[in-house]
Amino acid sequence: MSDSGFPYLLSLIEDGIFVLDQRHEIHYMNDAAARIFGFSVARDRNPTFIEVVRDYECDALVKQCVDTGDAQSASIKIREKKQYLDIKVSPDAESRNYIVIVKDLTEKRHLEEIRRDFISNVSHEFRTPISSIKLLSETLIDSPPKDPVVHKDFLLKINLEADKLAHMTNELTELSMMENKEARLNKNSLNLNSLVRQVVQRLEAQSAKKSLVLSLDIEPPVPDLVIDQYRIEQVLLNLVYNAIKFTGHGGFITISVKKRDNEIMVSVSDTGIGIPREELPRIFERFYKVNKARDDEGVGLGLAISRHIVASHGGKIWAESEEGKGSTFFFTLPLGA
Whether residue 5 is predicted with pLDDT greater than 90 in this model: the reply is: no
Cβ atoms of 199 and 236 closer than 8 Å: yes
Q: Any residues with CB less than 8 A from the CB of 332 and at least 6 apart, and which?
A: 260, 263, 264, 265, 266, 310, 315, 316, 317
Q: What is the mean pLDDT of residues 115-132?
A: 80
Q: What is the mean pLDDT of residues 181-204?
A: 88
Cβ atoms of 83 and 108 closer than 8 Å: no
What percentage of the chain carries pLDDT values higher than 90?
49
Q: What is the mean pLDDT of residues 54-65?
A: 93
pLDDT of residue 3: 46
Whether residue 255 is predicted with pLDDT greater than 90 in this model: the reply is: yes
How big is the chain by its Cα radius of gyration, in Å? 28
pLDDT of residue 148: 87
Q: Reply yes or no on domain 187-334 having CATH 3.30.9.10.
A: no
For the chain, domain boundaries: 8-104, 108-179, 187-334
Cβ atoms of 48 and 22 closer than 8 Å: no
CATH, domain range 108-179:
1.10.287.130
Are domains 8-104 and 187-334 of this chain identical in fold? Answer: no
Interhelix angle for 229-245 vs 302-312, to 10°?
140
pLDDT of residue 8: 58
Q: What is the mean pLDDT of residues 265-278?
A: 93
35, β-bridge pairs:
none
Whether residue 298 is predicted with pLDDT greater than 60 in this model: the reply is: no
Whether residue 60 is predicted with pLDDT greater than 60 in this model: the reply is: yes
Euclidean distance between the first and the last CA atom of the chain, given in angstroms as a whole number: 50
Whether residue 127 is predicted with pLDDT greater than 90 in this model: the reply is: no
Interhelix angle for 106-142 vs 148-179, to 10°?
160
pLDDT of residue 258: 92
Diameter of the chain measured on Cα atoms: 91
Query: What is the C-alpha to C-alpha distance for residues 3 and 26, in angstroms, rounded to an integer?
Result: 11
Query: What is the C-alpha to C-alpha distance for residues 273 and 232, in angstroms, rounded to an integer?
Result: 25
Query: What is the C-alpha to C-alpha distance for residues 82 and 110, in angstroms, rounded to an integer?
Result: 10
Whether residue 297 is predicted with pLDDT greater than 60 in this model: the reply is: no
Summary mean pLDDT of the chain: 86
pLDDT of residue 2: 45
Amino acid sitting at position 30: N
pLDDT of residue 4: 47
Q: pLDDT tens-digit profile of 215-250?
A: 999 887 788 899 999 999 999 999 999 999 999 999
CATH class of 8-104: alpha beta
Report the 10 Å Cβ neighbour count for 184. 9
Q: How many residues does the chain have?
A: 337
Query: What is the C-alpha to C-alpha distance for residues 277 and 264, in angstroms, rounded to an integer?
Result: 26
